[in-house]
Chain A
Amino acid sequence: MIKRLLGSRELLLAAVILVLAIVFGMLAPQFFSFAHMFGIGRSAVVLGLLSLGLLLVMITGGIDVSVSATAVASMYITSVALLELNYHGPFLLAAVLAVVIGAVFGLVNATLVTILKLPSLIVTLGTLTLFRGGLLAFVGSDRLRELPAKMSEFSTAQLFTLETGGRPAPFHVSVAVLIVIAVLLAWALRSTTWGKSMYAVGDDEVAARRLGVAVTPVKISAFVLAGALAGLAGIMSGALNRAADPFTIVGVEMDALAAVVLGGAAVTGGRGSVLGTMLGVILITMVAASLVLVGIPSAWRHAFVGIFLLLGLGIPALRQRRIEKARGMVVSN
Chain B
Amino acid sequence: MEARLGSRQYVIALIALVVLLFVILSILAPSTYPTLRNVLSMASQMAPLGLLALCVSLTFLIGGIDLSIVAVANAGAIAAAMTSTALEPSLGAPGASLVGVAACLAVGVIAGVINGTLVSQLRVHPIPITLGTMALFTGIATGVTGGATQFGTGSLGFLGSGTIAMVPVSFLLFVIVVLALAIITTKTRFGFKMYAVGASDKVSRFARLEVEKVQVRTYMLSGFIASIAGLVMFAGSNAANVSFGSSWLILAILIAVLSGVDPYGGKGRVLLVLLAVVGMQQVQTGINMALGRWDGASFAAEFTFGVLLIAVLGLNRRLGKAERRKLRKKSKSEEIQQGEPTLATPA
Given contacts A302-B135, A306-B137, is CB(A127)–CB(B310) below 8 Å? yes
**Alpha-carbon distance A332/B193, docked complex (angstroms):** 15
Which of B140-148, B182-190, B224-232 forms contacts with chain A? B140-148
Q: Quick one: given A122-B257, A133-B301, A141-B299, are A305 and B139 in contact (CB under 8 Å)?
A: yes
In chain B, what residue has the closest Cβ to A108? B310
A83 to B307, CA, bound (A): 29
What is the minimal beta-carbon distance from B164 to any residue of chain A, in angstroms?
35
Stretch in contact with the other chain, from A87-95, A174-182, A309-317: A309-317
What are 13 contact pairs spanning A and B, CB under 8 A? A116-B314, A118-B317, A125-B253, A129-B306, A130-B307, A141-B296, A266-B124, A267-B125, A302-B135, A302-B136, A304-B139, A306-B134, A313-B128
With A121-B65, A128-B250, A267-B127: A112-B138 Cβ-Cβ less than 8 Å: no
Chain A residues whose CB sits within 8 angstroms of the CB of B250 once the complex forms: 125-126, 128-129
Whether B129 lies near A306 (C-beta < 8 A) is no
Contact call A331/B205, Cβ cutoff below 8 A: yes
Instruction: Determine the distance from Cα of A214 to Cα of B91 in the docked complex, in whole angstroms.
Output: 68
CA A321 to CA B205, docked complex, whole Å: 16
Task: Name A's interface SS.
Answer: helix
Closest residue of chain A to B318, judged by CB? A116
- Pick from A116, A137, A304, A310: contact of B118, CB below 8 A: A310
A162 at interface, CB cutoff 8 A: no
Known contacts A128-B250, A310-B118; 5 additional CB pairs below 8 A are A119-B264, A130-B303, A303-B138, A309-B128, A333-B212
User: In the docked arrangement, what's the CA distance between A310 and B127, Å?
Assistant: 11
1/0 per position for B294-305, CB-CB distance to A under 8 A? 011101111111
Q: Chain A contacts of B305 at CB under 8 A?
A: 129, 133
Residue of A nearest to B307 (CB): A130
Given A303-B139, A303-B142, A305-B135, answer yes or no on A129-B296 (Cβ-Cβ < 8 Å): no
- By a CB distance below 8 angstroms, the chain A residues around B263 are 119, 122
Indicate whether A302 sits within 8 Å of B212 (C-beta atoms), given known contacts A122-B263, A254-B131, A313-B124: no
CB contacts (< 8 Å) of A266 on chain B: these are 124-125
Look across to chain B and name the residue whose beta carbon is closest to the beta carbon of A131: B306
Judge whether B322 is part of the interface by a CB distance below 8 angstroms. no
Chain A residues with CB below 8 A from B326, complex form? none
B292 at interface, CB cutoff 8 A: no
Chain B residues whose C-beta falls within 8 Å of the C-beta of A327 in the assembled complex: 347
Binding site for A on B (CB under 8 A): 65, 118, 121-125, 127-129, 131-140, 142-143, 145-147, 202, 205-206, 208, 210-212, 247, 249-250, 253, 257, 263-264, 295-297, 299-307, 309-310, 313-314, 317, 347
- Taken together as a complex, chains A and B put the C-alpha atoms of A267 and B65 apart, in Å, by 14
Asked if B206 contacts A331 (CB within 8 A), the reply is yes
Nearest 5 CB-CB pairings of A with B:
A303-B139, A130-B306, A133-B302, A306-B136, A302-B139
Query: Which of A134, A267, A321 is within 8 Å of B128, CB to CB?
Result: A267
Using Cβ atoms and an 8 Å threshold, which residues of chain A touch B310? Answer: 112, 118, 122-123, 126-127, 130
Instruction: Name the segment of A3-11, A97-105, A272-280, A293-301 touching the other chain.
Output: A293-301
Docked-complex contact B313 and A123, CB < 8 angstroms: yes
Residues of A that sit less than 8 Å from B by CB = 63, 112, 116-119, 121-123, 125-138, 141, 254, 257-258, 261, 266-268, 297, 299-307, 309-310, 313-314, 317-318, 321, 327-329, 331-333
Contact of B299 among A116, A136, A310 (CB under 8 A): A136
Closest chain-A Cβ to B290's Cβ sits at a distance in Å of 13
Q: Flag if B306 contacts A313 (CB, 8 Å).
A: no
Q: Is the CB of B132 within 8 A of A313?
A: yes
Q: Contacts of A125 on B, CB cut-off 8 Å?
A: 249-250, 253, 309
Query: Shortest distance in angstroms between A203's beta carbon and chain B's nearest beta carbon?
Result: 14
Could you say which residues of chain B place their CB within 8 Å of the CB of A297?
143, 146
Task: Contact check, B124 vs A137: say whether CB atoms are below 8 A apart.
Answer: no
Q: Are B299 and A314 in contact (CB under 8 A)?
A: no
Contact B317 A117 (CB under 8 A): yes
Verify B135–A258 contact, CB threshold 8 A: yes
Do A129 and B247 touch (CB < 8 A)? Answer: yes
Shortest CB–CB separation between residue A12 and chain B, in angstroms?
Answer: 17
Q: Is A299 a contact of B306 with CB atoms below 8 Å?
A: no
| A118 CB contacts on chain B under 8 angstroms | 310, 313-314, 317
The distance in angstroms between the C-alpha atoms of A118 and B310, with both chains bound, is 8
Min distance, Cβ A96 to any Cβ of chain B, angstroms: 27
Given contacts A117-B317, A317-B123, contact A332 B212 (CB under 8 A): yes
